[in-house]
Amino acid sequence: MSTLLIVSSILITCALVFYSLGVWAERLARFLKPWHVVSFWIGFAFDVAGTLGMHLMTVGHFDPTAPHTLTGQIAIWLMLAHAVWATIVVRKGTPKARAGFHRYSLIVWLVWLVPYFGGMFVGMRNLG
């Protein structure tokens, strides 16, 4: 197994940990706090770094319409939009906006899980 694969897998798993921490802590608190936003941004950064590492390992033509690539791109763009929006809501949002933000967070997290587990499945299938 290549070092890049191991590092990329660790980075994407760190994304899972930090993003999940932010989403579920916010959900349980039912109020968006600044440290939740920091956790979203850290998770996003780990995901981008891990995805870049995985992309560098690809062999052959890059197909943006492949199911795993497409769901991954959707998830990354949603994570970015989510982190930006969370930042704005924490800085300028009303208490009502901060209290209802967790619903959007959970949806983005669930969408993000599709390429995360899809990538695990693809990786395990390629090892066998």
Predicted local distance difference test score (pLDDT) of residue 128: 55
Predicted local distance difference test score (pLDDT) of residue 116: 87
pTM of the model: 0.88
Predicted local distance difference test score (pLDDT) of residue 65: 82
Predicted local distance difference test score (pLDDT) of residue 126: 61
Residue with tokens 């995360």: 116
Mean pLDDT of residues grouped by 10 in the chain (128 residues)? Answer: 86 96 96 97 96 83 80 93 96 91 91 86 63
Instruction: Tell me, letter by letter, the H, E, C secondary structure of 42-102.
Output: HHHHHHHHHHHHHHHHCCCCCCCCCHHHHHHHHHHHHHHHHHHHHHHHHHHCCHHHHHHCH
CA distance linking residue 26 with residue 126, whole number of Å:
36
Q: In 99-122, which positions are buried (b, 16+ CB within 10 angstroms) versus exposed (e)?
A: eebbebbeebbeebeebbebbeee
Among 19, 22, 44, smallest CA distance to 33 is for: 22
Predicted local distance difference test score (pLDDT) of residue 5: 85
Predicted local distance difference test score (pLDDT) of residue 127: 58
